[in-house]
Every structure is written in C-alpha cells, then in structure tokens.
C-alpha cells in the first residue's frame, strides 16, 4: 500500500499554511507529498522544511519563479529518485485517470451567483502504476487554508489475485510422478463425484509444488551438471582410470537429463509468454481494458447511516443490504392477464408437451449435463488414465 498527496497550497510562508500541511500528512498517514505554488523564496526553504517534516527528504524546483514545486517523502517507507527536472508539469507515456471519489477540487471562495465549483485538479497514473497497485483511487480532502483541495492518492495491491498454479510438463517424466498421483487418488472423499475430483486436484497441487521445489532452479541444475561433467572429463584425461570413465558417463547422463528438463520448461514458458505478449496489437486493447477496470471500480460509498465505507467486503455487503430492502419483504401478489398475448402466438403448448416439460428430472440427466467438464491438460496423458479412471 502507498499513500501520496499533492496540494496546490497557494503559498507556504504563513504559519497557518505550514500547520495545515503538517496536519494533512498526519491525518492521512502520507508517505509522499507534492506541494505546488509554495511561493517561498530560495534561501528560506530550509527553515520551513525543518518546521514541517524534519525527518523527511525534500526536493524543490526553483527553475521557475517562486519555487513552484516541492517534493517530500518519508525515507523509511519509500525511496524516491529524481530522474530529471524537465517537464514536471506534463505526463509522459500512456496515462489514465485514477478513480476519483469526489466531484470538485476548487472553489473561488465567493457566494451567491458568483460561487463556482470546478474540478481543476486531477491525478494521472500510468500502466506501471496500475500493475503495481491495481486498486487505486484518489479523493479531494477539505481545502483548509487554500482554495484548492489536496488530492490524496491511495494505491492498494490487495486486488492482486493469488498465484495461478501451472503444471510443469517435465514433472510427468519424473520417477515418482505416478506414485504420487496414485497416493492422492486412492483417498476416499465423501460427497458428490465432482467434489471428490476437485478435492483431489487441489491436493495434487501441493504435491506438484513440493516436487518442483525439490528440483530447484533448472537452469542452475544445468550449470552444475555441466561443471561436474567437465571436472570428471578433466580427471579422466589426467589419470586414465576405468572408474573415472564410469563417472564421466554418469555425469553425462545427469547433464542430458538436466538439459531436457530445462528445454521442456523453456518451451512451456515460451508458449505462455507468447500468449501474453505475442500479439503487440492487442497490447493496447488489454491496456485499455485494465484502465477501464481501474476507473470503474467502486472504491468507497456512503452507507444509509452516513458512514464512509472503503473496505471491499463492507461495500459489497452494503449493496446487498440496500437491494434486500428495496426488493425484499412481503409484497402483494400480482395477477398477470396473459389473454392479450394469446392472439399473437403462433403455437400454444399442448397438454402432452406440458407434461414433458414438467416431468421430474432424472439423476442421469443431471450427470450428463453437469459432469461433462474438460479435464486439466496434465490429466489428458494416457499414463494417468488407469489411476484417475478416465
């Protein structure tokens, strides 16, 4: 999680403005802060920074008049590197607007017909940001001592899905592969047939992960096997002993086996990489989908009691509660008169057809309809058919 803020303070020389900035950081637990239009003369910034956030790191841009831009960050939580100072007022690369939870960010401090509310301040994030923090939103806080509202940007990585299990094809050629599958598949699972199959598949995931962990890094295995083979060949060339010749043959077998496993892994990863990045024209399309998904996400709502909800579980429960009250409860039965539809019907169901439609559903029909599921690709191997019953 990261929390950053940016604020057009319209001057930072006054004690009230400085106190408002410090209070903003404490209220929202900010890790990074950007200040615009500080209007502090060069040479006076040191005393102001020491009174604001004395343990933070600072950067200021005095290339323009009045030191317009100040950056501050907590070095204990974030690491900021200034790459260049050119074009700080522009957004480079493909950027999209983060989810905004408030409507306006500026008021002209007038009353009556001259009062104006506008959305002048925005936050833009690029593709790399959305990949790192998929759940991103920003809100407009109270303007306090300025006519611009500070923008508080929050990035969460809680939407990142749990790691997808991918079966490595080289495991099917390992010596204890069939025995491990047989050990799991012989367990008796109480419940429906589909529940038993899914439970055994979940148990096999842990077994395959353990086998993959035992094998370690396949590329490192190839380098180690190649080193052993070279050392054995050097020893045989030096001493010309029969036992060293057997050692060379054994190291050559291990090296070839390690190479085959690495090639199988690389072939499989290459297919996955092509499916993900192969078509460059579709990359823009999927980037647009990711940006729309981030923009359309509901990050916070106000409940019926006026409480601001930000947790995803609380937001979903509030929606369910609202529609239960809207659609649930006792209702007066409505009698529908369908006589006006019969004049336009080309066919009316006969009593025999109605009897077929209302007849009880046989268990065999349910099995034929629901139990036809595509098996995992690693179960399609004919070596596993006697075990899994296919």
Give 148's DSSP letter. B
Its pTM stands at 0.47
In the prediction, which pLDDT does 88 show? 46
Q: What is the pLDDT along the chain (390 residues), one digit of tens a residue?
A: 889 999 998 888 888 888 999 899 989 899 999 998 888 888 888 888 888 888 899 988 777 655 578 899 999 898 888 887 765 444 434 455 555 555 678 878 888 788 888 888 888 888 788 878 888 888 888 888 888 889 999 887 764 555 677 888 888 888 888 898 999 999 888 888 888 888 998 899 988 988 888 888 899 999 999 999 999 999 988 888 889 899 999 999 999 999 998 888 888 887 766 666 555 556 667 777 777 777 777 878 888 888 888 888 888 899 888 888 877 766 666 676 777 677 777 777 888 888 888 888 888 887 777 665 555 555 555 566 666 665
Give 173's DSSP letter. G
Per DSSP, the residues of 312-356 read HHHHHHHHHHHHHHHH-S---------HHHHTT-S----HHHHHH
In the prediction, which pLDDT does 131 show? 79
Q: Closest Cα to residue 5, out of 142, 104, 106, 131?
A: 142
Q: Say if residues 289 and 126 touch (Cβ distance below 8 Å).
A: no
- Sequence-ordered alpha helix ranges (H) in the chain: 15-28, 45-52, 127-132, 177-185, 193-215, 218-239, 242-277, 281-296, 312-327, 339-342, 351-357, 363-370, 385-388
pLDDT per residue as tens digits for the range 170-217:
888 888 888 989 999 998 888 888 888 889 988 999 889 888 888 888
β pairing state of 135-140 and 124-126: unpaired
Q: Say if residues 238 and 231 touch (Cβ distance below 8 Å).
A: no
In the prediction, which pLDDT does 253 show? 93
In the prediction, which pLDDT does 390 show? 52
In the prediction, which pLDDT does 104 show? 77
Q: Say if residues 73 and 80 touch (Cβ distance below 8 Å).
A: yes
SS3 24: helix
d(CA 247, CA 262) in angstroms, rounded, equals 23
In the prediction, which pLDDT does 349 show? 83
Give 35's DSSP letter. E
In the prediction, which pLDDT does 31 show? 92
Burial class for 280, CB neighbours closer than 10 Å (0-12, 13-18, 19+):
exposed
Considering Cα of 317, then 319, then 321, then 324, what sign does the dihedral take?
negative
Residue 354 to residues 132, 215, 335, 359, Cα–Cα distance (Å): 57, 62, 21, 8
Give 64's DSSP letter. S
Q: Say if residues 184 and 208 touch (Cβ distance below 8 Å).
A: no
CA 119, 124, 125: angle at the middle one, nearest 5?
155
In the prediction, which pLDDT does 91 show? 40
In the prediction, which pLDDT does 280 show? 52
Angle between helix axes 242-277 and 218-239 (nearest 10 degrees) is: 160
β pairing state of 135-140 and 99-100: parallel
């Amino acid at each position: 999680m990261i929390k950053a803020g940016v604020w057009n303070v319209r001057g930072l020389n006054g004690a009230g403005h400085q106190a408002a900035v410090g209070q903003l950081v404490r209220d929202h637990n900010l890790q990074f802060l950007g200040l615009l239009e500080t209007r502090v003369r060069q040479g006076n910034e040191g005393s102001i920074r020491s009174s604001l956030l004395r343990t933070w790191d600072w950067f200021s841009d005095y290339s323009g008049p009045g030191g317009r831009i100040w950056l501050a960050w907590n070095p204990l939580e974030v690491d900021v590197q200034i790459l260049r100072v050119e074009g700080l007022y522009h957004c480079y690369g493909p950027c999209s607007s983060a989810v905004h939870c408030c409507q306006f960010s500026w008021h002209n401090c007038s009353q009556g017909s001259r009062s104006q509310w506008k959305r002048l301040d925005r936050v833009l994030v690029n593709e790399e940001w959305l990949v790192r923090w998929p759940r991103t939103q920003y809100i407009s806080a109270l303007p306090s001592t300025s006519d611009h509202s500070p923008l508080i940007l929050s990035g969460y990585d809680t939407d990142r899905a749990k790691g997808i299990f991918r079966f490595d094809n080289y495991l099917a050629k390992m010596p204890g592969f069939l025995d491990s599958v047989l050990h799991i598949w012989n367990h008796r699972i109480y419940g429906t047939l589909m529940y038993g199959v899914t439970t055994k598949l979940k148990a096999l995931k842990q077994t395959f992960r353990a086998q993959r962990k035992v094998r370690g890094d396949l590329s490192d295995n190839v380098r180690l096997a190649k080193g052993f083979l070279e050392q054995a060949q050097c020893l045989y060339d030096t001493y010309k002993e029969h036992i060293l010749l057997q050692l060379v043959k054994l190291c050559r077998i291990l090296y070839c086996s390690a190479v085959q496993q690495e090639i199988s892994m690389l072939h499989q990863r290459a297919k996955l990489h092509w499916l993900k990045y192969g078509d460059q024209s579709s990359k823009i399309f999927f980037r647009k989908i990711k940006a729309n998904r981030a923009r359309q996400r509901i990050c916070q709502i106000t409940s019926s009691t006026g409480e601001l909800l930000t947790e995803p579980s609380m937001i979903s429960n509030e929606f369910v509660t609202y529609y239960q009250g809207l659609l649930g409860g006792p209702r007066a039965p409505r009698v529908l008169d369908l006589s006006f539809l019969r004049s336009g019907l080309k066919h009316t169901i006969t009593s025999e057809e109605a009897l077929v439609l209302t007849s009880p559903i046989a268990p065999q029909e349910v099995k034929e309809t629901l139990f036809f599921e595509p098996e995992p690709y690693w179960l399609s191997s004919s070596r596993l058919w006697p075990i899994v019953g296919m």
